[in-house]
């Protein structure tokens, strides 16, 4: 059933019908026309033959009538009949003339002369009889110019005859004084009819006015029981005004074609009868030949249809196999017919072009997906690196915060010591007696302050180094963000190219029609993945821009902290120098009380400077704490951004993995 529904079967059936239908119709029409023409020709031939026989019979009758009229007009005949008496001399002369008539007619029949009473007076053959009761005597004597009798069985010879008679007109030109007659043997007519038969199972028959068969082409007349045809249409129709006709009638299991013609002189009817099957045999033979030729043409048409269908279905089968392979993910060209210059060759070439383009598109998509996968791996690694740097920055910020806390504590201690120094100076001013002990305690406190300042200087240096590390890390982070932005731009470009490739694939799939529907779905999914990749890349780019901005702010903050720390370090150095000088002054206190007062004043002055310095250091410490908090917040934001970047890299990797999974459907060589 599947083969019957194929294009090849349909083409064969359609082309066979295109050949069969006209051939069958033309054959039937030709057969009908041939049969009708043969029927018409048979009717014409039949009618012509009936007319020909009728004309021959009419000629026989006319020649006999003419001969009899010539004889009846002979003066010796007229004188002999008008005299009414036997006259052997005249009878001998009349007989001699009658023999001449018979000799001229040369048909083996006899002539006789009868008087007005019907008595035969002279006869060439046979004995003399009275014919007064015969129709062939009554009609001429009654006024007929001539008369041809119906079938008569001769009493003298016992044969079937017909008698032709004409009147003998007297010398007055009007009186009928007798008749001249000739008997015509109907057996001669049988031979005539038999000679006119031209076809098997053909019959020619002559009937008289009563429907009695006068002659038959197949058989002699039965003189004992003459055959009657008074019920046949050719006889009944002839009894009216019709003089000829044709009709078809069944007889003894056959269909007969009958044509008839009425003979004017005798009113007999000649009928030519043929069996229709025999008459139409040539038409049937012609129709059979036409049927055979029609079958040959149909067979040839089917063969041509089969060969032509192969030239169409073979390329279509190759295209079907190529599209079937494409639906299974294989890129197989339709080979063998690409050199054809017709539409099927164009279909083959276009199919192969589609296969090549789809192969190239899928290859480009796979390559792009691999590039996206590699880029997502690099992005993930870079996000891990940035995350590590962010952790390092966070640790450095914690160290700075700890240093700032220690610095604040040390400043509190220094502030407390300054209060003690202030008290000591007051005590020195109020009591020089206690100067030495105060100087001693002051020396101890100053040494302790020097140690604290030394520790503060080291802490400041450590904080400065940490700030420099933070600045370097943030700079590295900025560089990494710049590189990530470059990769994001590459991903965006790849996603745009992938989207264009998916659009081209959708267009080619639409051209492929039904067979490309599956690939159209794949192309649509690829387009969606490309849009998602582009959107993810855009989100990453925005996050990187924000991260870059925050990194730049962090670098500015770090520079600010570094500057403040440098200032703090300078103050610490100055304070350390002041404390060192103070220690030297305390050591020189013992040299003289006079100088103590001056030194005490200098200490008061130094105390104010130290208070200012401590106040500055306190402000710097507060700024350091604030900067540390801001740096910590930036670091936290950087960590969140890096985490988002890592998630985006994971999503991008999933997209590329899904794209590669979809592309694995295609089996490329």
pLDDT one-digit tens code per residue, 388-399: 776 775 676 577
Distances (CA, A) of 423 to 427, 452, 580: 6, 20, 19
pLDDT for residue 257 is more than 80: yes
Contact 423, 434 (CB under 8 A): no
pLDDT mean over 654-667: 76
Strands 269-275 and 254-262: antiparallel
Contact 214, 240 (CB under 8 A): no
Identify the pLDDT of residue 63: 92
Contacts of 416 (CB under 8 A, 6+ apart): none
Distance CA 362, CA 26 (A): 59
Q: In terms of Cα–Cα distance, which of 410, 441, 411 is closest to 425?
A: 441
pLDDT for residue 18 is more than 90: no
More confident residue, 255 or 16: 255
The DSSP call for residue 217 is S
| CATH fold group of domain 17-282 | Beta-Lactamase (3.30.450)
Distances (CA, A) of 22 to 16, 27, 439: 10, 8, 143
pLDDT mean over 629-637: 72
Identify the pLDDT of residue 413: 74
Identify the pLDDT of residue 428: 54
Distances (CA, A) of 34 to 173, 282, 288: 60, 9, 11
Strand pairing partners for 244? 261
Identify the pLDDT of residue 135: 93
Contact 162, 151 (CB under 8 A): yes
- 27: exposed, middle or buried (Cβ count in 10 Å: 0-12, 13-18, 19+): buried
Q: What is the dihedral of CA 170, 173, 178, 183, to 10 degrees?
A: 130
Task: Give the chain's end-to-end CA distance (angstroms, integer).
Answer: 37
The DSSP call for residue 40 is H
Identify the pLDDT of residue 106: 82
| Three-class secondary structure of residue 665 per DSSP | coil
Q: Residue 450 corresponds to which tokens in the numbers above?
A: 């020097």
Q: Residue 514 corresponds to which tokens in the numbers above?
A: 């039904």
More confident residue, 196 or 441: 196
pLDDT for residue 254 is more than 60: yes
Identify the pLDDT of residue 422: 72
Distances (CA, A) of 301 to 14, 19, 29, 655, 667: 11, 6, 20, 61, 45
| Three-class secondary structure of residue 567 per DSSP | helix
Contact 108, 157 (CB under 8 A): no
Contacts of 115 (CB under 8 A, 6+ apart): 81, 84, 121, 177, 178
Identify the pLDDT of residue 123: 93
Contact 623, 528 (CB under 8 A): no
Distance CA 582, CA 576 (A): 9
| CATH fold group of domain 348-663 | Helix Hairpins (1.10.287)
- Domain extent listing, the chain: 17-282, 348-663
Please report the sign of the dihedral spanned by the C-alpha atoms of residue 45, residue 46, residue 49, residue 55: negative
pLDDT for residue 604 is more than 70: no
Please report the sign of the dihedral spanned by the C-alpha atoms of residue 47, residue 50, residue 56, residue 58: negative
| Three-class secondary structure of residue 204 per DSSP | strand
């Amino acid at each position: 059933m599947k083969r019957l529904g194929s294009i090849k079967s349909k083409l064969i059936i359609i082309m066979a019908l295109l050949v069969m239908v006209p051939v069958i119709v033309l054959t039937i029409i030709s057969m009908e026309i041939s049969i009708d023409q043969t029927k018409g020709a048979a009717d014409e031939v039949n009618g012509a033959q009936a007319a020909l026989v009728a004309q021959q019979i009419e000629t026989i009758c006319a020649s006999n009538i003419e001969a009899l009229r010539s004889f009846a007009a002979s003066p010796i005949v007229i004188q002999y009949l008008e005299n009414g008496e036997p006259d052997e001399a005249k009878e001998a002369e009349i007989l001699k003339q009658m023999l001449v008539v018979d000799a001229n007619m040369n048909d083996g029949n006899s002539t006789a002369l009868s008087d007005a009473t019907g008595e035969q007076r002279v006869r060439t053959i046979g004995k003399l009889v009275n014919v007064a009761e015969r129709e062939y005597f009554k009609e001429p004597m009654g006024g007929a110019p001539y008369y041809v009798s119906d079938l008569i069985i001769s009493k003298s010879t016992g044969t079937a005859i017909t008698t032709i008679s004409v009147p003998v007109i007297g010398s007055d030109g009007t009186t009928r004084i007798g008749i001249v007659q000739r008997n015509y043997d109907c057996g001669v007519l049988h031979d005539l009819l038999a000679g006119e038969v031209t076809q098997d199972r053909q019959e020619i028959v002559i009937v008289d006015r009563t429907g009695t068969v006068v002659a038959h082409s197949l058989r002699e007349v039965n003189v004992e029981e003459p055959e009657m045809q008074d019920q046949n249409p050719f006889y009944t129709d002839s009894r009216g005004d019709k003089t000829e006709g044709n009709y078809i009638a069944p007889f003894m299991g056959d269909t007969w074609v009958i044509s008839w013609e009425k003979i004017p002189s005798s009113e007999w009817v000649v009928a030519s009868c043929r069996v229709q099957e025999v008459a139409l045999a040539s038409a049937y033979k012609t129709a059979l030949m036409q049927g055979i030729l029609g079958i040959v043409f149909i067979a040839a048409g089917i063969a041509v249809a089969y060969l032509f269908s192969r030239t169409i279905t073979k390329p279509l089968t190759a295209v079907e196999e190529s599209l079937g392979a494409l639906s299974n993910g294989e890129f197989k060209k339709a080979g063998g017919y690409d050199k054809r210059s017709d539409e099927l060759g164009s279909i083959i070439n276009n199919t192969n072009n589609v296969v090549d383009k789809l192969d190239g598109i899928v290859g480009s998509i796979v390559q792009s997906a691999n590039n996206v996968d590699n880029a997502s791996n690099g992005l993930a690694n870079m996000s891990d690196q940035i995350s590590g740097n962010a952790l390092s920055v966070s640790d450095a910020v914690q160290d700075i915060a700890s240093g700032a806390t220690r610095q604040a504590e040390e400043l509190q201690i220094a502030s407390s010591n300054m209060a003690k120094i202030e008290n000591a100076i007051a005590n020195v001013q109020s009591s020089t007696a206690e100067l030495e002990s105060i100087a001693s305690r002051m020396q101890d406190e100053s040494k302790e302050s020097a140690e604290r300042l030394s520790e503060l200087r080291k802490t400041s240096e450590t904080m400065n180094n940490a700030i420099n590390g933070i600045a370097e890390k943030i700079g590295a982070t900025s560089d990494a963000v710049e590189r990530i932005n470059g990769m994001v731009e590459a991903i965006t470009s790849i996603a745009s190219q992938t989207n264009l490739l998916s659009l081209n694939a959708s267009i080619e799939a639409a051209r492929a029609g039904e067979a490309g529907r599956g690939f159209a779905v794949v192309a649509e999914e690829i387009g969606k993945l490309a849009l998602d990749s582009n959107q993810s890349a855009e989100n990453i780019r925005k996050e990187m821009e924000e991260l870059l901005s925050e990194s730049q702010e962090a670098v500015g903050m770090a520079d600010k902290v570094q500057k403040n720390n440098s200032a703090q370090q300078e103050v610490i150095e100055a304070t350390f120098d002041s404390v060192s000088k103070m220690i030297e002054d305390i050591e020189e206190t013992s040299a003289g009380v006079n100088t103590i007062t001056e030194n005490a004043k200098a200490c008061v002055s130094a105390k104010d400077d130290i208070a200012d310095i401590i106040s500055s250091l306190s402000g710097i410490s507060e700024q350091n704490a604030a900067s540390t908090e801001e740096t910590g917040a930036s670091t936290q934001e950087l960590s969140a951004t890096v985490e988002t970047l890592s998630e985006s890299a994971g999503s991008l990797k999933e997209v590329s993995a899904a794209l590669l999974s979809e592309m694995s459907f295609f089996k490329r060589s």
